[in-house]
Amino acid sequence: MAAISVERVSKRYGQVTAVRDLSLQVRDREFMTLLGPSGCGKTTLLRLIAGFVAPDDGVIRVDGLAVSSADAVVPPERRGMGMVFQNYAIWPHKTVYENVAFGLEVRRVERSSARDRVARVLELVNLAGLEPRFPSELSGGQQQRVALARSLVVEPKILLLDEPLSNLDAKLRERMRWELKELQRRTGITFVYVTHDQAEAMTMSDRIAVFSRGELQQFGTPLDIYRNPSNRFVATFVGSPPMSVFEGSIDEAGKLQVLGTSVTLPDVAKAKLSAGMSCDVGLRPEDVNVRANGDVHARVDLVEHLGAMTILHLSTAAGRLIAQSSANEPAKVGETVSIRIDPRALYVFDRASGAALVTPAMIAAN
């Protein structure tokens, strides 16, 4: 077992609260991602789990045993965890073999056994045959694999990864995402992964914890977070291209007024809204129906061709709108297009708190 329990943990640095009253559970053998913008507290939480820093409040447990509290912290080397850093942190003067075997030497593992374990883990990360090379003779992806192998060879129950792909080029990041997920599936190790890249989080994770300003905003599966966000921050942070948000209101007839048109909402949505209220309304790019003989007209300002799809940046009377369309439906800059709003695809947020009042997932469930 390698489950992690974070119970009402807080960490402060002077007047700044990096993590505030945080609770979450990481399941055994789970790939769990901490997602959020820079400075939101995700790396601080990872370091708390690793034992590099102590919490000011709360307790962190691994398999039910307390490893961190304000009173006592089990040292990192006694936690059965491995860690992969953003900058790889591999020794330039050591070969691939020497880098990977170092942790076993520190643990005084018998030489022949260490040799076998290094060989197995290098095979696992596709580095077999590169044992005599130095880091300067490796590509960025190969250096990342060395860092992974060094953490895996000591057979940790939990692997902590702090933005390990951020230094790689886009194509290599895509390949390494698949390799990391496949590696976690084959080893059965519990992964806790930190990133600000939503594509990494959405494609690899079993569950995602979304952070903002040291607080947990939502914890759930990638699909649930995408289609059923808890608030406006989660909805606008997760998704690429991003969601477009406009001011809206509910009229006396219970209809939603947005983008200069009147939208009749499904009954389940009406029940959560009241006449006269102000709200914010979100639309994801894939839910914007362009050339649909709708009531909303927009001018095409920018066209981004991305192979199988095209991203349109539009101007409406209410503001900017991003739409996603098929590459087979070309549009030209300066052209005016007609948009139809699908009531089942709308996200409605409370104007003051940002809490989600209506989402497509809520509507579909009813």
Q: Which residues contact 361 (CB under 8 A, 6 or more apart)?
A: 224, 227, 228
59-70 tens-digit pLDDT = 999 999 999 999
Q: Which CATH code of 3.90.190.20, 3.30.70.20, 2.40.50.140, 3.60.70.12 fits the domain covering 241-364?
A: 2.40.50.140
Tell me which architecture the domain covering 4-232 has in CATH: 3-Layer(aba) Sandwich (3.40)
Q: What is the pTM of this model?
A: 0.90
Predicted local confidence at residue 253, as pLDDT? 87
DSSP code, position 196 = S
Instruction: Compute the distance between CA of residue 238 and CA of residue 226 in angstroms, rounded to an integer.
Output: 6
Amino acid at 35: L
Give the dihedral sign, CA 94/95/96/98. negative
Predicted local confidence at residue 309, as pLDDT? 86
Residue whose token pair is 């300002």? 301
Beta bridge partners of 302: 313
In this chain, the answer to whether the domains covering 4-232 and 241-364 adopt an identical fold is no
DSSP code, position 110 = -
Helix (H) or strand (E) holding 283: strand 278-283
Predicted local confidence at residue 301, as pLDDT? 96
Predicted local confidence at residue 327, as pLDDT? 67
Instruction: Compute the distance between CA of residue 63 and CA of residue 159 in angstroms, rounded to an integer.
Output: 15
- State which residues of the chain have pLDDT below 50: none
292-349 tens-digit pLDDT = 788 899 999 999 988 888 999 999 999 999 999 876 777 889 999 999 889 999 999 9
Predicted local confidence at residue 1, as pLDDT? 63
Q: Are 256 and 348 in contact (CB under 8 A)?
A: yes
Give me 85's structure tokens.
Answer: 């850093």
- Terminal Cα distance for the chain, rounded: 38
Predicted local confidence at residue 92, as pLDDT? 93
Instruction: Write down the domain spans for the chain.
Output: 4-232, 241-364
Predicted local confidence at residue 169, as pLDDT? 82
